[in-house]
Amino acid sequence: MAKTLSGKIALVTGASSGIGEATALALAEAGATVAVSARRADRLAGLVQKIEAAGGKALALAGDMAVEADAIKAVEDTVAAFGRIDILINSAGIMQAGGIEGADLALYRKVIDVNLMGTIYTCQAAIPHMLKHGVGDIITISSLAGRKGGPQTNAYSASKHAVNSATDAMRQELGNRNIRVSILMPGATRTEVGDSIVDPNWRAAIQAHVAKDGAVEPSEIADTLVFMLSMPRHVNISEISVRPTIDTTA
């Protein structure tokens, strides 16, 4: 891969697995220095070792993006270590299933706190640094669930609709100051997103959905993201969907 991002400083949240991990690897391969954040410090350490073994530079910053102080600290520690932040990738996200009847509101809040508020925390912390240097890129990993709803994906779909709206509002707010803001919406992608779902039936259903033949690989989402970042500065790919070819009706 060409070093299209040489000299750039990136922070990737949700980097301990799936799309976040693949994105960190792809950014490093494209020449960026990468700070990686997630709750699982052991996995972050392994990711940093992998990036450094390939000749890249990386920093592990363990934290929970649902916790405002952790999210802000991830941004500030990135800037403290490398002098600035050029790229913010909001990849931290969780899924739970269930409708409104008998809903576990604690699970609803957790989904909203991670998927929506975690994104807002990191963006609010990073934007002043980007404005100071006159340039920046923010890409939020959303979902095709942010374009539809479902009786068993109530909290997740609501969080992703909100993420899409908030992200596009930031694009309109910041575009005339050379900060590009984009939404990347994957369809079925081979990740661990279903593993933490409490309901066993829906956990099995989502695990099967993302493992089906033809599902998108995390590295393919990461390649799409690098493409978005590598466009000329006057081009902002504001929104892009990536789904398996076989999903013709979703």
Q: Residue 125 maps to which CATH number?
A: 3.40.50.720
Contact indicator for 87, 32 with CB cutoff of 8 Å: yes
Residue 193 falls within a domain, yes or no?
Answer: yes
Q: What is the mean pLDDT of the chain?
A: 92
- The verdict on residue 250 lying in a domain is no
Pairing of strands 136-141, 9-13: unpaired
- Establish whether 156 is a catalytic residue: yes
| 199 pLDDT higher than 80 | no
Looking at the structure of the chain, the number of domains it has is 1
Q: What is the pLDDT of residues 7-63, one digit of tens each?
A: 999 999 999 999 999 999 999 999 999 999 999 999 999 999 999 999 999 999 999
| Predicted TM-score (pTM) of this structure | 0.93
Domain hosting 38: range is 9-238
In a domain, 4, yes or no: no
Q: What does the pLDDT look like over 93-144, one tens digit per residue?
A: 888 877 788 778 898 899 999 999 999 999 999 999 999 999 999 999 999 8
> Among 89, 156, 158, 216, which one carries the catalytic annotation?
156
| Side-chain-facing half-sphere of 3: CA atoms under 13 Å | 8
Task: Confirm if 167 and 125 have CB atoms less than 8 A apart.
Answer: no
Nearest to 141 by CA among 16, 246, 14: 14
**Which residue has better confidence, 191 or 220?**
220
CB of 86 closer than 8 Å to CB of 9: yes
Q: Is residue 1 part of a domain?
A: no
Measured over the CA atoms of residue 70, residue 120, residue 15 and residue 67, the dihedral's sign is positive
Helices (H), 54-153: 68-82, 105-112, 118-133
Residue found by looking up tokens 């369809």 in the block:
187
Residue 117 DSSP symbol: I
